[in-house]
């Protein structure tokens, strides 16, 4: 965990370049947002591993109430700055498993975690926690790198797809992002559709949908229903 915190400290200053310039990241972010905002669940949303708020901020702008949680002080500092003037946000710099429902308030209609599940040390524990935090028929929207991800090939695809001059302007930042992802994936729990279905089913969830076409076939987006 300390290694991951250190990685995200280094990563935080470059992270929003993904949101601004990288189309495959934008497509995955939009998959989370489209699913959350079109869901028939209209209650509170938990953004677990919220980072700098690239999912949180559009949800707030759409009038949703969001509890955003991350263990990276650096990431949350950017989120606090970006969310100035917006209402409906509660922030926690905590591990979710250390927080009771009493601390978090009423149950959530939806939980979203974009590119988070794969580096949780005990994913079963977290999913059990989420199950208890969700209202009846609530959903978890989850994404992450697929089993067999080609980080080197993905990096080259991203470079090729960037607008003219963007990579050259932010070369060191994109290299930082690449190195961070290499380190994270090297120690990660990676899933395909079958193993992800088994994981969520073991904690009482139904895998409602699964799509592994994101990031040029290197990333999945799935929905678990309570």
| Residue 21 CA from chain centroid, whole number | 18
CATH of the domain at 188: 3.40.50.150
Per-position pLDDT tens, the chain of length 226: 445 555 666 666 788 899 999 999 999 999 999 999 987 778 999 999 999 999 999 999 999 999 999 988 889 999 999 999 999 999 999 888 787 767 888 899 999 999 999 988 899 999 999 999 999 999 999 999 999 999 999 999 999 999 889 999 999 999 988 988 888 888 888 999 999 999 999 999 999 999 999 999 999 999 999 9
Give phi and psi for 157, each to the nearest 5: -65, -45
The CA R_g of the chain, rounded to the nearest whole Å, is 17
Instruction: Say what angle helices 171-186 and 151-161 make with each other, to 10 degrees.
Output: 150
Model's pTM, two decimal places?
0.92
Question: In which domain, by residue range, is 49 found?
Answer: 2-225
Integer Cα distance of 53 and 102 in angstroms: 24
Q: Look at the chain and report how many structural domains it folds into.
A: 1
Cβ neighbors of 103 (< 8 A, separation 6 or more) are: none
């Amino acid at each position: 965990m300390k290694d991951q915190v250190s990685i995200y400290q280094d990563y935080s200053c470059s992270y929003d370049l993904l949101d601004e310039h990288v189309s495959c990241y934008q497509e995955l972010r939009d998959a989370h947002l489209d699913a959350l905002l079109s869901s028939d669940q209209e209650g509170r949303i938990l953004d677990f591993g919220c980072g700098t708020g690239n999912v949180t901020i559009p949800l707030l702008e759409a009038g949703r109430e969001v509890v955003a949680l991350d263990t990276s002080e650096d990431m949350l500092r950017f989120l606090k700055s970006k969310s100035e003037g917006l209402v409906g946000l509660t922030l926690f710099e905590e591990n979710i498993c250390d927080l009771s429902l009493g601390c978090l308030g009423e149950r959530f209609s939806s939980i979203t975690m974009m590119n988070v599940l794969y580096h949780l040390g005990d994913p079963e524990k977290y999913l059990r926690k989420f199950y208890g935090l969700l209202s009846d028929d609530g959903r978890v929207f989850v994404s992450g790198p697929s089993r067999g991800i080609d980080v080197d090939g993905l990096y080259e695809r991203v470079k090729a797809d960037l607008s003219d001059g963007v990579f050259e302007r932010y070369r060191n930042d994109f290299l930082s992002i690449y190195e961070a992802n290499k380190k994270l994936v090297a120690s990660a729990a990676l899933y395909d559709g079958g193993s992800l279905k088994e994981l969520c089913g073991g904690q009482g969830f139904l895998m409602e949908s699964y799509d592994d076409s994101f990031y040029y076939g290197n990333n999945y987006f799935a929905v678990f229903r309570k």
